[in-house]
A and B are shown apart, each in its own frame.
Chain A
Amino acid sequence: MADFTYTLLIPLIPFFTFLLLGLAGHKMKPIMAGLIGTSGLGASAILAYSAAISYFWTGHSAGTPYTSIKAFEIPWLHLTDKLTIHLGVLIDPISVMMLVVITTVSLMVHIYSIGYMKGDTGFSRFFSFLSLFSFSMLGLVLATNIFQMYIFWELVGVSSFLLIGYYYYEKPSAVAASKKAFIVTRFADLGFLIGILMLSFNTGTFDFQTLTDPHGPAIAQAGGAAFMGLSLLTWSLIFIFVGGAGKSAMFPFHIWLPDAMEGPTPVSALIHAATMVVAGVYLVARLFPVFALGAPDALYVVAWIGGFSSLFAAVIACTQTDIKRVLAFSTMSQIGYMMLALGVSGYGGEEGLGFMASNFHLFTHAMFKALLFLGAGAVIHAVHSNEIGDMGNLRKFLPVTHITFLIACLTIAGIPPFSGFFSKDEILVAAFHSNKLLFAIEYLVAGLTAFYMFRLYYGIFWGKNTHYHHTPHEAPKVMTIPLMILAFGSVFAGFLPFHDLVTSDGKGFESAIDWFVAIPSVLIGVVGIVIATILYKKESAMPDRIAGSLKYLHRWAHRKFYIDEVYLFVTRKIIFRYISVPIAWFDRHIVDGTMNGIAGMTVYAAYAVKGLQSGKLHQYAFVFVSGAVILVLIFVYLV
């Protein structure tokens, strides 16, 4: 077995570039900072690829299952007799796959950003945050234990916060969005933390290898009902999933994702499309044996939250007019697919089809969604607007962006032979064999996806002849080359033999395209594309008329089903006005008032008794005599 200690460098190199750029970046020339960040990530990417090759192929004897390897581990914090937090590197199929995904997309985004962010103030700051994010995300996927994952989980959250808000810190909407993203995910992370507390207490370990061992302490505790008919293990996994749902923008925690689009577009591509938002999927996949063998009820929750989110987001995506927001809802919808696939999966062999499909889709989605965002960035770069209404007929001006964007749209719509077809097909097959209702939902979502993506595509590149103040021009090479590389990935990633490489139990299984599911799913995709073509290829009044006839549905979907308003109500009204303000008032007036009252009474009492110390002799004599008389009377009559 190959030695993987060197994989430690994969997260550490970005960490060092972060320190270097963070401490000395403002003294460098901007291009220098960009090159340092990019080359650091390039080195990580090379190491990640070589680790992938040696793990999956050269260092692996065919026919044996893939095992998980602890390449490195040190104790970081000792807690109790049983619990110690370690930091380390875990190498197994999903972590290696994620290494490839993260380093690839991150490297593309780094290169792209050199062009996209050119001339911006704070160029080096941007690159130092990108490095920080890459470090945190790589540390997250390499975590050997759930607590390490939680540590890096928080770090990716803060990197995302910094990249959305701190970068454009003079733009109030970006600052508000970054705050919202952080607080909503933080709230979900509280669930994650509670889940970790429960799980670690009941199993006595944080370690993934021990937790996911089918004969280990976690799964052994599967039975029994502790609370509301569910076992302790189920509850702890549901709480952990809450954390995952927050990071992955699943309903009802999804509200931060569309707002996060206020950040720079390369950041949206990296963090809010390809890597950080799939951390929730990765978390469930990481603990998958515990879910599948120990707590099927928790997995059921995962499936339904995923299924519902994918439909919910797809409906909203059909009505949005900001191109980045359409993509954001599309991301939410696609992550819903991945969650659903995990939720309907079993453990081991072909039962684990959903697990494989979920990871497969994660992989292909990272490629085509990053491509869509970077393409959208090139469009925004050219027309200086996010609104579809300001675009149209751009295909002549932006040929490379147009072609790559079209490839990505075909991929996400599930048209063969693009990669999205393969991964989505596996998910639909897995759903079909498990739950017919969920399958029906996902089938509908597949059609909606094709529709809204082509609505977007036609709106940008076809449609009306918009008059532009400045003639839009194609992005520079440094931006279009990453587009082409990602387009290549989107086309060919589907041919990777995922069913041999990434499976729930490490053993490969036979998998073939199920034409019984595949043909209808391609058909509904085509139907979606055709409808979008009819409605949006040429400017027409049809879309508005349809929207008018579906008045309420359209308005509700356009306003994102008013979930934002519900949140605003809870935060502004309930938390701020009905909790914080009264508490602050209570503190000032009741608690402090009591203290001041005690002080006031002391002063009052002092004034009250002051009269007794008057220094007037006749008064003293009077008091003395009357006291004596009273005492005498008491003694005489009572004793």
Chain B
Amino acid sequence: MSILNLFIIIPILTVGAILLTRDLKHSRLVSAIGMGVQMILSFVLVYLYLTERAAGNTATMLFTYDALWFPTLNIHYALGVDGISVAMIALTGIVVFAGIFASWKMTHLPREFFISLIILASGVFGFFISIDLFTMFLFYELAVIPMYLLIGIWGSGPKEYSAMKLTLMLMAGSALLLVGLLGIYFFSSPDPHALTFNLMEISKVRIPIHMQRFLFPFTFVGFGILGALFPFHTWSPDGHASAPTAVSMLHAGVLMKLGGYGAFRVAIFLMPEAAHEQAWIFLILTAISVVYGAFSAIVQTDLKYINAYSSVSHCGLVLFAVLMMNQTAMNGAIVQMISHGLMTALFFALIGMIYGRTHTRLINEMGGLMKVIPFLGVVYVIAGLASLGLPGFSGFVAEMIIFIGAFQHVDVFHRVITIVAASSIVITAVYILRVVGILLMGPIKNDHFLHLDDAKWYERISTISLVLAITAIGLAPYWLTNMIDYSLAPIVEKLAAIQLTSLF
């Protein structure tokens, strides 16, 4: 029995325990304990992973577990993790934990809320530990579906519209993805009786190039929609704006990362030739995402829209780096996923807390909040500085690895597009400082705001745990990048093996 099974079992047990509770007080406590255990477990997993590697275990995937599940199609419940998935699991653990504390006062149908939230989380955990494409897809859907309920029931504003839009667009992504995954399945082995969904098995065969050319766009765009790839990102601003705090946190923090992770683990890993051929198209789209998201964020007035567009920009950078397809840039992509996950979760948590006090998310109606809620104000400034890539926080590390990695391509196209993407650091500074200036500084505009309470203990737990993670990566990135680097080796070898014919 592998430790990884616990990542599914604990959420199930937690959901079972929540069913037994009666009110908010108990259900939130049960959720906090369950997800606290889950978070600790994810740290234990990091530790076990590192000791296993230190002991000289060189297998690509560790802690593997395999159970035949659906024999006719050879579908397995196959688990396994490498350095990359371990890092993503740790990210998920922290964000989910912080999300529970951010919904401490969820009075409307609390049990159902926490159950949906935890089902969503277990889908994400399941996705990261699976190495069977079908199981992976299943968990992916498991994460997307509760989103509809969470936004539709507990959301705000035009919540039905947003929930519908988000779910339908992501479902469209799933449909593309399903085509891609089935296509991969049918070419997963030269022997038609030995077809498999196992990622590691498929990576050993070479999918015929004409099929790759056909399947790669389906798979990449399918995942890309979840990763807010331009022009399929518009679910993100509306969805985030309507979603309750913890859902925004989880969605932007970890669910969007499924897109980046899948794009790189499935689309590029299994179809490197097609990826290499078609990368330029998607590089242009992602570079547009990066700059376009940042420019759009400048003129938004709703805090959630600002952060949603900022996420479009930052997640665009993830896919951008993945498509650069060298070890350094891909490492940067993973770090950027983790970094953005933590930062955006922190932002959404803060926005939720501010909204809970001021009952508005429009920055023009607020001002001078630093004076009345100094704790939240300071954390907002920290989150902002982290987001604009200040050294000492995770965002800087990720961006620098990406830019240096991307700049290792010698041709003009990659160089120019890297500089275009790098120019986003200026635009990011503009919209972040604009918000900080309007929201927190200056005189207080509304007399009601004079009597706001600063952060409560549960809000402090939520924000401080995220801030700690952001600074830990920012100050000592070495261990994280090393862990990721090791696990990138198989992918890089595969990329190196293909005939590199440059298009430019």
Q: Hey, which bits of chain A sit against chain B, CB under 8 A? A: 75-80, 83, 85, 147, 151-152, 154-155, 158, 161, 165-166, 169-170, 172, 175-176, 178-179, 182-183, 186-187, 189-190, 193-194, 197-198, 200-201, 575-576, 579-581, 583-584, 587, 591-592, 594-596, 599
Contacts and interface: CB of A to CB of B under 8 A. Distances in A.
Contacts of B401: 77, 79
Contacts of A579: 295
A592 B165 CA distance: 10
B440 A169 contact: yes
B422 A193 contact: yes
A576 B430 CA distance: 11
Contacts of B371: 169-170
Which of B390, B441, B443, B478 has the most chain A CB within a 10 Å cutoff?
B441
Contacts of A592: 234, 238
A591 B231 contact: yes
A572 to B, nearest CB: 11
What 10 A-B pairs have minimum CB-CB distances, sorted nearest first? Answer: A592-B234, A169-B441, A151-B391, A580-B298, A197-B407, A175-B441, A580-B299, A179-B433, A583-B295, A186-B429
Contacts of B397: 77
Given A78-B485, A155-B390, A166-B381, A194 B419 contact: yes
A175 B478 CA distance: 36
A80 B478 contact: no
Contact of A170 (B231, B296, B327, B368): B368
B422 A158 contact: no
A178 B437 CA distance: 9
Contacts, number: 129
Contacts of A587: 234, 292, 296
B319 to A, nearest CB: 17
Contacts of B368: 169-170
A201 B422 CA distance: 16
A583 B292 contact: yes
B425 A197 contact: no
Interface string B297-339: 0111000000000000000000000000001100000000000
B433 A183 contact: yes
B356 interface: no
Contacts of A175: 437, 441-442
B408 interface: yes
B299 A581 contact: yes
Nearest to B232: A595
Contacts of B238: 592
Contacts of A599: 165, 168
B165 A200 contact: no
Given A80-B328, A169-B440, A182 B429 contact: yes
The B interface, classified by DSSP as helix, strand, loop or mixed, is: helix
A592 B168 CA distance: 13
Contact of A595 (B234, B299, B391, B478): B234
A351 B390 CA distance: 39
Contacts of B422: 190, 193-194, 197
Given A77-B481, A166-B381, A170-B442, A190 B425 contact: yes
A170 B391 contact: no
Interface string B399-441: 0110111011000000000110011011001100110010011
Contacts of B441: 165-166, 169-170, 172, 175
A155 B232 CA distance: 36
Contacts of A80: 327-328, 404-405, 408
Contacts of B183: none
Interface in B376-392: 381, 385, 389-392
B296 A583 contact: yes
A584 B299 contact: yes
B169 interface: yes
A200 B405 CA distance: 11
B347 interface: no
B296 A584 contact: yes
A201 B238 CA distance: 41
A165 B440 CA distance: 11
Which of A182, A193, A575, A596 has the most chain B CB within a 10 Å cutoff?
A193
Contact of A75 (B292, B392, B478): B478
A158 B426 CA distance: 14
Contact of B404 (A83, A158, A178, A183): A83
20 contacts: A76-B478, A77-B478, A77-B481, A158-B390, A169-B440, A169-B441, A169-B442, A170-B371, A172-B441, A179-B437, A187-B426, A190-B422, A190-B423, A190-B425, A198-B407, A579-B295, A583-B296, A591-B231, A595-B235, A599-B165
Contacts of B296: 580, 583-584, 587
A197 B404 contact: yes
Interface residues of B, number: 56
Given A155-B391, A186-B429, A197 B418 contact: yes
Nearest to B389: A154
Contacts of A594: 231
Contacts of A79: 328, 400-401, 404-405
B140 interface: no
Contact of A172 (B169, B300, B442): B442
Contacts of B389: 154
B107 interface: no
A207 to B, nearest CB: 15
Which of B392, B404, B405, B442 has the most chain A CB within a 10 Å cutoff?
B404
B477 interface: yes
Contacts of A179: 433-434, 437
A182 B292 contact: no
B429 A200 contact: no
Which of A79, A151, A161, A596 has the most chain B CB within a 10 Å cutoff?
A79
B370 interface: yes
A175 B435 CA distance: 11
B482 interface: yes
B7 interface: no
A92 to B, nearest CB: 23
Nearest to A206: B404
A193 B485 contact: no
Contacts of B127: none
Contacts of B396: 151, 154
Nearest to A190: B426
A166 to B, nearest CB: 7
Contacts of B232: 595
Contacts of A201: 407-408
A193 B390 contact: no
Contacts of B440: 169
Nearest to B332: A79
A83 B371 CA distance: 44
Interface in B94-131: none
A183 B232 CA distance: 30
Contacts of A580: 295-296, 298-299
B300 A584 contact: yes
Interface string B197-234: 00000000000000000000000000000000011111
A596 B166 CA distance: 11
B487 to A, nearest CB: 14
Given A166-B441, A575-B430, 14 more contacts: A78-B481, A78-B482, A154-B391, A169-B368, A170-B368, A172-B443, A179-B434, A182-B433, A197-B418, A201-B407, A591-B231, A592-B238, A595-B165, A596-B165
Nearest to A185: B429
Nearest to A77: B477
Contacts of B481: 77-78
B391 to A, nearest CB: 4
B477 A76 contact: yes
A571 to B, nearest CB: 8
Nearest to B335: A77
A580 B396 CA distance: 24
A183 B426 contact: yes
A595 B162 CA distance: 13
A8 B62 CA distance: 41
B436 to A, nearest CB: 8
